[in-house]
Amino acid sequence: MTLLEVRDLVTDIGSARVVDGVSFRVAAGETYALLGESGCGKSMTALSLMRLLPDGGRVSSGAVELGGADVLGLPEREMRHVRGGQMAMIFQEPMLALNPVIRVGEQIGEALALHQNLAGQPARDAARALLDAVGVPDAARRLDTYPFELSGGLRQRVMIAMALAGQPRLLIADEPTTALDVTIQAQVLDVLRRLKDERQMGMLLITHDLGVVAENADRVGVMYAGELVEEGARDIFFAAPQHPYSRMLFEALPRPGDSGRLTTIPGQVPPLDGAMRGCRFAPRCPSAVARCRDEAPGWQTINGQQVRCHLAGTLPASNARAFAAHAHPTHAAQVLLQVDGLKVHFPIRRGFLQRTVGHVRAVDDVSLDIRAGRTLALVGESGCGKTTVGKALLRLIEPTAGSIVLGGETITAKNAPAMRRQAQMVFQDPFSSLNPRMRVADILLEGMDALGVGAASQRREAVMQLLNRVGLPDDAGGRYPHAFSGGQRQRIAIARALAVSPRLVICDEPTSALDVSVQAQILNLLKDLQDSLGLAYLFITHNLSVVDYLAHDVAVMYLGRIVEYGAAADVLRAPRHPYTLALVSAVPRIEAQSGPGIIRLAGDQPSPLNPPDGCHFNPRCPYASEICRQTYPDRTDLGNGHWVRCHWVAAQA
């Protein structure tokens, strides 16, 4: 039974046509996925359905029917009951969508009062039942907490609970797992699947993650520049995507064991405020012919799929990717960075005299080494201490204990500024880390001037060469950061790090919020720079697909300590620590997986303020025994440089 029907939906914001003639259906109990890059109109389609468009936005034409009722024709007074009561939305960033000064229970209670006429203790009981339903532990206590006191995964679950408070028939999930750890992502998606099946809701899932689509969608619609360009059943779509854009999205994905260059999509999604002629993807399509640039394609059916492309059915079965082996520099055996016993403890001070009453053990006895020309990936859930390690290595945060040796010289508080010429950092959010009031050329020159890199008269020329090396246009130096896309800003951040000719680059989640096509460009760039300059990378991430593609070695971190370490092939293909097993199992993949499936971890990561006795992972470990609760495990050597800290593995060895 069709629950939602959208016909020829057109939405304008000012002069921009952000949704142009979109049509699709969602049945009860079905998940329909809208897939595409940022700027393609996915979120604007969802906001059009909810009639929550920003100022200046309006639905110009088309029809939206929910259960046979005309949503676009309802007066606003009635629409308020449809939102939440008939269809509800989970927004992309829960911290922005939740009110930071209102307790969780009160926010859920507002939806219960509006849609179920509940108040007082009945509303509180219903709110607790909703939190229980979405898997929030200790739900009664969480009702009295504020959103900022919750982890990202718990905030997302609170958002789901609020969306379900009105018992909607249609749930719109807009990038519900973006930037979440793979374990939390798996938990959130599992909750959505279970609730959808129990309540027979329809779901509109908006995402750019092909793995999430493969594991959750029943049907898929691919969106580009405001239009749907391909639509079909999930299994048929993943077996043989027909549109060149869909194929290039697949080719841009890092694949297990693949070390060749990733396919990238040249250019960007066109601005939607200009006149569109011909196929909108033609300027970026390697197969485009003259007809594509002059005539807009209509829909046609190929193997049960609807596709909007003049060349559909005539293209080769798949686009080939070069699987050339990744060449390593000959000097890769030299140890560049050696870290021994690194600790970073943050004091907790209370009272009028600010006495120290405890410490947050963010990093607690970390040892590692990185060789020149190689990449060490530091992986783990948010809050495990990965970023703190990166900042402590550059002494942007002062370590509590331990030694850091870079290029044979120990880094101390006195020589840290001078040593930063050898080691630089690329931060997670380039927009926040780039000065918005400085032109790009001045941003790059700042570090060169401060550290005296090269002759002053030659620095401007060096900046131009550097911008060209990272693939930015010639006029980029004279523009401000806001004039660039997210992927281009990340290239600027990489260029800034390279401006002082470092030997080590610390990359902190540099691809976490990027589309798959832009991610491929950044990964190719990092590999090219490593090959040509012999750079070493410390790559901090929770995206194991990226780790599999880029890293030579992997260190798995949990609650301030490394629990497994070894070559990437050993750690990712044959993980031994129970925590690593859970991380690897939770990665969404487009290929069918064999084995036991996703390993569910109990509870959340404990606080580094008061870590558990014994092995820190024991409260969540399915194999924990009494010794795990009493003694922290020593290293168990598995050969070939692969080791773990786990009593269970030691007993099996």
**Residue 388 in contact with residue 540, Cβ under 8 Å?**
no
* Structure confidence at residue 227 (pLDDT): 95
What number of CA atoms fall less than 13 Å from residue 652's CA on the CB side?
A: 11
DSSP 478: G
Residue type, 158: V
Tokens of 651: 């007993």
Single out the residue of 646, 559, 545 nearest to residue 604, CA to CA: 559
Residue 407 C-alpha from the chain's centroid: 33
pLDDT at 462 over 60: yes
Residues 6+ apart with CB under 8 A from 108: 127, 130, 131, 143, 158, 161, 162, 165
pLDDT average, residue stretch 40-53: 93
Band of residue 577 on the pLDDT scale cut at 50, 70, 90: very high
Supply the angle between the helices 182-199 and 152-164 in degrees, to the nearest 10. Answer: 10
* Structure confidence at residue 333 (pLDDT): 58
Q: How far apart are CA 225 and CA 28, in angstroms?
A: 28
Tokens of 456: 């002053």
Burial state string for 269-296 with b = 16 or more CB within 10 A and e = fewer than 16:
bbebeeeeebbbbbebbebbeeebeeee
Phi/psi of residue 507, nearest 5 degrees: -105, 110
Domain boundaries, the chain: 95-167, 335-422+502-652
This prediction has a pTM of: 0.83
Alpha helices in 586-646 (DSSP H): none
**Residue 563 in contact with residue 380, Cβ under 8 Å?**
no
* Structure confidence at residue 594 (pLDDT): 53
Instruction: Return the ∠ at Cα 176 (arms to 170 and 178), rounded to 5°.
Output: 160
Query: What tens digit of pLDDT does each residue of 227-259 get?
Result: 999 999 999 999 999 999 999 999 888 877 676
Q: What is the chain's mean pLDDT, rounded?
A: 88
Q: How far apart are CA 393 and CA 396, in angstroms?
A: 8
Single out the residue of 333, 408, 373, 370 nearest to residue 533, CA to CA: 373
* Structure confidence at residue 139 (pLDDT): 87
Tokens of 112: 């219960």
Query: What tens digit of pLDDT does each residue of 546-555 get?
Result: 898 899 999 9
> Hey, which bits of 372-464 come out as E strands?
375-379, 401-406, 409-410, 423-426
Fold of 335-422+502-652: Rossmann fold (3.40.50)
Q: How far apart are CA 479 and CA 467, in angstroms?
A: 12
pLDDT average, residue stretch 296-312: 93
Single out the residue of 237, 230, 247 nearest to residue 318, CA to CA: 247
